[in-house]
Amino acid sequence: MSDAASNPSLPDEPDPNRRGFEAAGSAVSGSAIRLVIDRKRFRDPPTLALEGIEFVVDPGEFVVIVGPSGAGKTTLLNIVGGLDRDFEGRLDIGPSALSAGSPQASNVRVSNARASNAKERIGYVFQSPRLMPWLNALDNVQLVRPRGGQADRQEALALLEEAGLGGFEDALPAKLSGGMQRRVAIARAFHARPTLLLMDEPFASLDEPLAWRLRECLHDLWRRYRTTVLFVTHDLTEAISLGDRILFFAPRPGRIVYEQAVDLPHPRGSGDPAVSEMRARLLADHPGLLAGGVGKEASPG
């Protein structure tokens, strides 16, 4: 069930000029990230999940990770988010990520090494919205800042309006369509004022018109807040439409096999010919890229 079908009054695109959003405090800046993963293993069954990964993300950059199932994309997000600290390597989040030179220059190879500034705040948007069913939309957004006052409430209302949910703040999740629930999850993530936002295929399984509206909603909020984003997807068109840079992963063990900067101007809407051309060029040069192969000789089959 799409948003527009179930709620004809819901706008297809957020209106950036809606009153109240500027008061929401859009001056959040993003965190820098420096990640080195020598090895990430799982014990049961014994699996080498990630190996030889090194990259830096600049503050406010939107980086997309693309790769097949089994490439360790979600595992990598869990490491960056602090949900999985059992790895060999180093993770720096914040100013220290940009002050230590290139990743290759680091001599630190200590299991579970992590450095971050207390001011860095990490948000996470999963494949499912994960809303509390007994809380209405507004309370779900405010859940990340439960002790906020009237100003925080107004900010949460403004975020819901910017996400296209003005007038639905009192609705319980069961009364919202799947797309609307995902809008609430995105608004909640930004209400936490994250300096780093991790997104694990948040628009998977949605029909394309709805997915595009949610991508536009996400992009508008990202432009306002300039938070750093790490975004996982299987969809190359989605990656080109949203990202500043794409990291392509190969599986078993997960590793980076190709990197592509995306220098196309925004907005990059549905059917954008520049997006289609870049996608076609990438797959012509690397037919097996989405399966983790690089070069014409690496085509699947």
Domain spans in the chain, listed from the N-terminal domain onward: 27-133+192-298
Q: Which CATH number fits domain 27-133+192-298: 2.40.50.140, 1.10.3720.10, 3.40.50.300, 3.40.640.10?
A: 3.40.50.300
105 residue type, one letter:
A
Instruction: Please enumerate in sequence order all residues whose Cβ is within 8 A of that of 250, keeping only pairs 6 or more positions apart, or say none.
Output: 67, 68, 71, 257, 292, 293
Answer whether 137's CB lies under 8 Å from 171's CB. Answer: yes
* In the chain, alpha helices (H): 3-6, 73-80, 137-142, 150-162, 178-191, 208-225, 236-242, 273-285
Distance CA 173, CA 206 (A): 17
Residues of the chain with pLDDT under 70: 1-28, 100-119, 296-301
Cα(293)–Cα(300) distance, integer angstroms = 8
